[in-house]
Every structure is written in structure tokens, then in C-alpha cells.
Amino acid sequence: MQMVSKIHAARSDPTELPPTGRREFAVSGVTLPGKQTSQRNGKWARRTHAFLGIVSAFNLLLLISTGFLLQHASLLKLDEKTIPRAILPSSYRPQDGAYGVRADIFVADLHSGRLFGTAGALTLDAVTLVWLTLLTTGLVMYLGRQRAKQKDVDRGASFEDEE
């Protein structure tokens, strides 16, 4: 009996969504499409946003950490440290000798994508486009929700006017 009361109470409040995903008005028994349509339309944006966000998070972490190291290079004395040649790509800065590359140069090249040559620069260009896509899909989701909220408010106002 309590379960029935809770369901009836939720449906009598027009601000609550029933389990069907449709907004029902208990006063007249009218069911208006609510967030169900906007959820279907925005599903691609959420999935794209989530996938690209996870993939680009690794690159963002790399950029944040190398940017921090570059910002504090003198404090960390990166110009006095060397990255051994054993962990570097064989084609990376062969002019620096067989022992290794200064850490500040390595961090700057890692930050800019030059460490991996043309492929690294193209990868950073692709990641920049991914971030643009993240911005776009985020705006689509936000504006879709705002539009759905406004439609709900407008429908509620027009429903009250009809009474």
C-alpha cells in the first residue's frame, strides 16, 4: 500500500518524472513527452564525449606534467640531468651523442610532440581536434538539457493556461 502511495505521490507532482521517462499530469491524465526525446537525441553526444574524454585524458595528463616540469626546470635543475639514450627512440637527436639528451630538451620535445617527429606533431594536431570535439559535444549536451528544461517549463505553463 505504501508503494502505491509513493508512486501516486510522485505522479501527482509535475516536477517528478515517472519511471516511464514521460511527464504525466495527474490532474487531467495527459501525458506529454518529456525528456525521453532529448535523451535519445543527445545519446551520441554523451557517448562521443565520454570516449574522447577518456582517450584524450592521457594526453592531457602528459601535457600537464611536462608543462609543470618546464615551468620549474631551473628549480628542478633539468639542464644538469640527462635522459639515457637506452630509453629514447634511436632517431631522436642523434647529434647529442651516444650518452643521452639533456632532460630539459627532452621534456620540451615531449611536451611539443617533437620527440616523435612528424608523427608526434600530427598526433598533437589530432588531439587538438579531439578537444574541439569534446567542447562541441559538451555544449550540445548542455544546450540540449537547457532546451528540454525550457520546453518543460513552457508546456507546464501552457497546460496551466488551458485549465
Which has more pLDDT, 85 or 30? 85
Collapsing DSSP to helix, strand or coil, 102 comes out as: strand
In a domain, 106, yes or no: yes
* pLDDT given at position 162: 57
- Where on the phi/psi map is residue 84: left (φ > 0), alpha (ψ -120 to 50), or beta? beta
Do 103 and 130 belong together in one domain?
A: yes
Do 55 and 114 belong together in one domain?
A: yes
Do 18 and 59 belong together in one domain?
A: no
DSSP letters of 5-53?
Answer: HHHHHHHHSTTSPPTTSSEEETTTTEEE--HHHHHHHHHHHHHHHHHHH
For the residues 84-100, what does the mean pLDDT come to? 89
Do 66 and 124 belong together in one domain?
A: yes
The 10s digit of each residue's pLDDT in 33-44 is 555 555 565 687
The 10s digit of each residue's pLDDT in 104-139 is 999 999 998 888 888 888 888 888 898 898 888 888
In a domain, 38, yes or no: no
Q: Of 30-34, 69-73, 103-107, 152-156, give the lowest mean pLDDT range.
A: 30-34
User: pTM of the predicted model, to two decimals?
Assistant: 0.57
For the residues 19-43, what does the mean pLDDT come to? 51
Residues in the chain: 163
In a domain, 22, yes or no: yes
Do 134 and 90 belong together in one domain?
A: yes
Number of domain units in the chain: 2
Query: The domain containing residue 124 runs over which residues?
Result: 44-145
- Using only C-alpha atoms, what is the Rg of the chain? 28
Do 62 and 84 belong together in one domain?
A: yes
Do 51 and 27 belong together in one domain?
A: no
